[in-house]
Chain A
Amino acid sequence: MIVELGHYALILALLLAAAQAFFGLAGPALARERWFGAAPSAAAGQLVFLALATTVLVHAFIEDDFSVRYVAENSNSALPLFYRIAALWGAHEGSLLLWIDVLSLWTIAVVARLRFLPPAFGTRVLGVLGIISFGFLAFTLFTSDPFVRLTPPVPDGNDLNPVLQDFALAIHPPILYTGYVGFSVSFAFACAAMIEGRRDQLWARWMRPWTVIAWAFLAWGIALGSWWAYYELGWGGFWFWDPVENASFMPWLVGTALIHSLAVTDKRGLFKSWTLLLAVAAFSLSLLGTFLVRSGVLVSVHSFAADPRRGIFILGFLIIMIGGALTLYAWRAPRMVSQAGFELVSREAFLLFNNLLLVIAATVVFGGTMAPLIAGTLHLGTLSVGPPYFNPSFLVPVLPLLALLSLGIHARWRRGGLRESRRRLLVSFAFSLVLALALVFGVYAHPLPLTPIGAVLGVWIILSSLIDPLDRLRRGIRVPAAILGMAIAHIGLGMFVLGITFVQSNTLERDIALKPGGSVTLAGYNFRFDGVQNIEGPNYEGLRGTVTVTSDGKPVTVLHPEKRRFWVQGSVQTTAAIADGLHRDLLASLGDDVGAGAYSLRFQYRPLIRFVWLGAFIMAMGGVTVVFGRRQRGAGWAEAAQPSTVAADTGSA
């Protein structure tokens, strides 16, 4: 009975989404101001019923209600409580519900800040969000209903996919979706601006904070997923260019371009149509990612159970949303073209390069991801491209992007860019050169050809990002949140570049069969295998090895790699043991029993790998600083409704 109540709540949410879409778009279009109020009310009602439906499903998981098919397929009475709740988004149906929940929360956040937008504009934004919500609710109810009953009920469930029984992965989807779905707000703002055919650039100022927050969450989500893959899959990789990973990475790259072009549109009124197109593209790529992952069109290790019927539904939705937005763009963008100019060496020009290079990078990823499909369409057979394509092609646009960054952040708006900063840039570059080369040839030997380039760029980005904030501090001027956030984000990027550079060129790994007592030395660390013992967890049994690591005879750490066999699904999973450190990770994973008491083992030394995730995390923190740092000073994006004031040098790009 309770389950049917949840089902009913979901249906009511669908109807409210329809109301939100209708009143949100028809109200302003027909100039019926009395209809305006209906859109926020419908959004609030939707949140209530979605909360109810979600609570009901969580309740079914907690109470082990195996008469619900989704629960029976993704939970088990032996599953710990935390994972029983996280199992809610452990498979297709529930993760869609989570998607809609997140959208509803974003919508309510827009409602809460509605008073800072012109009424008609804000109402239209809600209308567009209503269409998206309606589409996803209809998709859930008609093709992926999580409330379907199982008759007769089963005595026990099929258990959550063991891969998902992990803390980082349990919290990964909500964070990733917050980013993904957040771009729907940017999309809605862009659509509202195009519907109104606004000639001003205020919409860019209104859109900016939402976009930056969505972008930051997406960065965290991607980093968390990568970190999970690193320690859970157990072979030390952290990025596989898998379709599912690319599906989140492409919107992030375009989102990065978007937050930079929004800066230009907001400050200078330039790139208007380009910014609109990027806002449409960021969300379209999120939708496309959903399509690729859920329709079974591409085969991926992370794949959800595929169903062509779902594919057809999402395809229809793509046509309506993306096709509709791009038609709107073709119709409205020509009248929104701006007429201001700028010189070749100016902030605007550097941001234009930034945008072009980021879009090229996204196109490279897109091409690789779609290659199997395109090859299939042209009857070139089944073809799949992997790291040998992605790694070098991705660097082509990204290396110049990184090289231009330090110059770009010191260029002035409009013209005349680098003259005043030339000295500082040269000094910081000289410092970077010395520091990076010392790192490459002194600390880590055996560089690859690209190692010195990566190291110099990484260090230079960090040092040059520090120049402006430090200069202001020295002169006793407060550092505005926009400047501080930009510096933090770029420092994060620099750390990320350093991490990738050294982990790619200086990782050492060794596969070896050892008997207890045997040892091997890697990068100055001695790994001694001390044997295995049997272990038993709440829903698995397995083996646990002991590896003692020493350096120059001094103990460093003791590692316990595990192999677990989950009872219910019977699958075996290897859990690598990782000794993490800021300057290096040491990994041990346990392989098969090779007979005579010996086991195959894999040991790895990975320098600076923490910088990869730490860098991504700090990058996203920069975005949060820009948005919330500004708010705390009281002005907030409240000032949005007032005319634009171009402060001389507060460009957060």
Chain B
Amino acid sequence: MNRFILPLGAFGLLLVVLVVGLVHAPEKGIIVSPLLGKPAPQFSLPGLLDQTSPLQAQSLRGHWTLVNVWGTWCGECRAEHETLLAIKAQGRVPIYGIDWKDDDAQARAWLNELGNPYDRVGADREGRVAIDWGVYGAPESFLVNPEGTVVYKYVGALTLEVWQREFLSRLL
């Protein structure tokens, strides 16, 4: 044992911290949203599929809701679409979509082609509502409780595993 091994030992300790940090990294998504535990922002968006039914803050009252921010320009959203369809099939919560900075016709064509997991879709053509929601990039998903409070935010494409672990566990 000589003193020249000490740096290696210190590095070993550091590695433990890094590995633990990495294992917990996905949870960091919770910390970054200032919206958590606060009421969802006030907004009103024209309906993408049904012009007569706008998507607004009041739509989120009285039931749990999954709010999903997406766009046809977003590659990850395409990867996420299957998951959303599967969540829809489970029928646990309605999914409301915010179609972010998108072309309406293209968005409708996308839903026709890939299937529509959304109970309602609002068209946020200029992205102003997404700012209020603190959206960093698409896709992002928010879990809103019946009182209209945001309880969880997930950044990136949802998978069924994440849905089970992070969303369904909070529904109970």
Chain A residues within CB distance 8 Å of chain B:
69, 72-73, 148, 150, 154-158, 273, 277, 280-281, 284, 291, 295-299, 305-306, 308, 311-312, 315, 318-319, 322-323, 326-327, 329-330, 333-334, 370, 373-374, 376-377, 382, 567-572
Contacts and interface: CB of A to CB of B under 8 A. Distances in A.
A465 B60 CA distance: 68
A330 B4 contact: yes
Contact of B25 (A158, A277, A306): A306
Contact of A315 (B22, B28, B32): B22
A377 to B, nearest CB: 4
Interface in B1-49: 2, 4-5, 7-8, 11, 15-22, 24-26, 28, 31-32
B71 to A, nearest CB: 9
Nearest to B124: A570
B4 A297 contact: no
A644 B22 CA distance: 47
Given A157-B73, A311-B22, 10 more contacts: A72-B75, A150-B75, A158-B101, A296-B25, A299-B32, A308-B25, A318-B15, A330-B4, A567-B126, A570-B127
B17 to A, nearest CB: 5
B130 interface: yes
A561 B4 CA distance: 56
Contact of B7 (A330, A334, A569): A330
18 contacts: A72-B73, A73-B137, A154-B72, A155-B106, A158-B73, A273-B4, A281-B7, A295-B25, A297-B22, A315-B15, A315-B22, A322-B11, A326-B7, A373-B21, A376-B24, A382-B31, A569-B101, A572-B131
Contacts of A319: 15
B25 A323 contact: no
B128 interface: yes
A155 B103 contact: yes
A281 B103 CA distance: 51
Interface residues of B, number: 32
Contact of A374 (B17, B25, B32): B17
Contacts of B2: 330, 334
Contacts of A333: 4
Contacts, number: 96
Determine chain A's interface SS by DSSP, over half rule: helix
A277, A284, A373 — which one has the most chain B CB atoms within 10 A of its CB? A373
Contacts of A305: 137
B28 A377 contact: no
A329 B101 contact: no
A422 to B, nearest CB: 37
Given A299-B32, A334-B2, A277 B7 contact: yes
B122 to A, nearest CB: 15
B131 A308 contact: no
A27 B11 CA distance: 30
A277 B106 CA distance: 58
Contacts of A370: 17
B21 A297 contact: yes
List the 7 shortest-distance A-B pairs measured between CB atoms, nearest first.
Answer: A570-B127, A154-B73, A326-B8, A373-B21, A297-B21, A377-B20, A333-B4
A327 B12 CA distance: 11
A284 B10 CA distance: 13
A284 to B, nearest CB: 8
Interface in B74-130: 75, 101, 103, 106, 126-128, 130
A355 to B, nearest CB: 15
Contacts of A323: 8, 11
A377 B4 contact: no
Contacts of B72: 154
A156 B72 CA distance: 11
Given A154-B72, A308-B26, A291 B11 contact: no
Contacts of A334: 2, 4
A315 B131 CA distance: 34
Contacts of B21: 297-298, 373, 376-377
B12 to A, nearest CB: 8
B64 to A, nearest CB: 26
Nearest to A159: B101
Given A567-B126, A569-B127, A329 B7 contact: yes
A367 to B, nearest CB: 12
Contacts of A322: 11
A299 B27 CA distance: 11
A330 B8 contact: yes
